[in-house]
Amino acid sequence: MYEAIEGNLRRTWLLFAGFVLVVVALGYLFGELTGFGYAGAAVAAVLAVAGAWGSYYYSDRIVLSISGAREAPRELYQYLYNATEGLAIAAGVPVPRLYLIEDSAPNAFATGRDPQHAVIVVTTGLLDKLDRLELEGVLAHEMAHVQNYDIRLATIAAVLVGMVALMSDWLLRSMRWGRRRGSRGGGSAQGALVLAGIVLAVLAPLLAQLMRLALSRRREYLADASGAMLTRYPEGLAGALEKISADPEPLEAANKATAHLYIINPLREWGGWANGLFNTHPPVEDRVQRLRAM
C-alpha cells in the first residue's frame, strides 16, 4: 500500500509539472506573436494570478454557498463531531468545520485552502443510510484529502486550467489582429510560430482539462488508501462507496462546478477507456477492489 501511495504522489507531481509546461509554452508563444516578448507572457501571468488570488482565498465560501451547506449543530450531531475529532487526531491535523447539506442522497466532500481552513461537508442522506463504520470510512477519506493537501492542490489545478484557457483565448485573438510588428524572424519562421500557436491554443485547454481530471482520479485513489490507514478498516470505506454509488436518489445541490469534489461523482460519468479520460473519479469497482486487497 505504501508503494501505491508513493506512486500516486509521484504521478501527481508529474502531472502538475505538465500543467506548468503547458502554461509556459502558451506564455512564450503569446509574447512572441503579440510583439511584447517576455513582457506579454508576464502580463498574462499577472492577470491570471490576480484573478486566481480571490478564488484561492474564497473558494470554500463559494462552494458552500453553491451547495446550500450550513454548519452542523453539535448538539444534534454529536457522533459526527466525535468521529471527526478522533480522525483529526489520528491524521495530525486541526479538526475541520462540519457542514450539512439537507439532501437524501448520500455523499460528502472536503474543501478549504489548507488544514487550518478545512471544511468537511456531508449530506443528511449519508448520515441516515450508512452505518457507523461506513460513515467513519467516508469521514476518513475526506480527512485524508485534508491531510494530503488535496484541497489546496485541487484549487491550484483549477487555477492552472483557467490560466491555460485564458492564454489560449488570447493567443487566438492575437493571431486575428495580424502579424506582430518588428518580427525578429523571417516569414517562414513567423509562419511556423503562428501554426504552433494555433495548434497549441486549440489543444491546450483540452490537454489541461485531461491532466486536471487525471490528477483528480489519482488523488481519489490516494485518499482511499490514506483513509483506510486512519481507520485501520478498509471494508468500512469499501461498503460506503458501494452504497453511495448504488443509491438512486439524485443530489439536487450538485452541479458541474462542484461534482469533482464529492467522494462519488453525483452526476453521470461515462464508461469505457476513452470516455473514462473525461471522468472526475476512478471507477467505483476499481476503488473497492483496491481497498479489499489491502
Active-site residue identified among 75, 142, 235, 242:
142
User: How many Cβ atoms are within 10 Å of 63's Cβ, its own excluded?
Assistant: 19
142 is catalytic: yes
> Active-site positions?
142
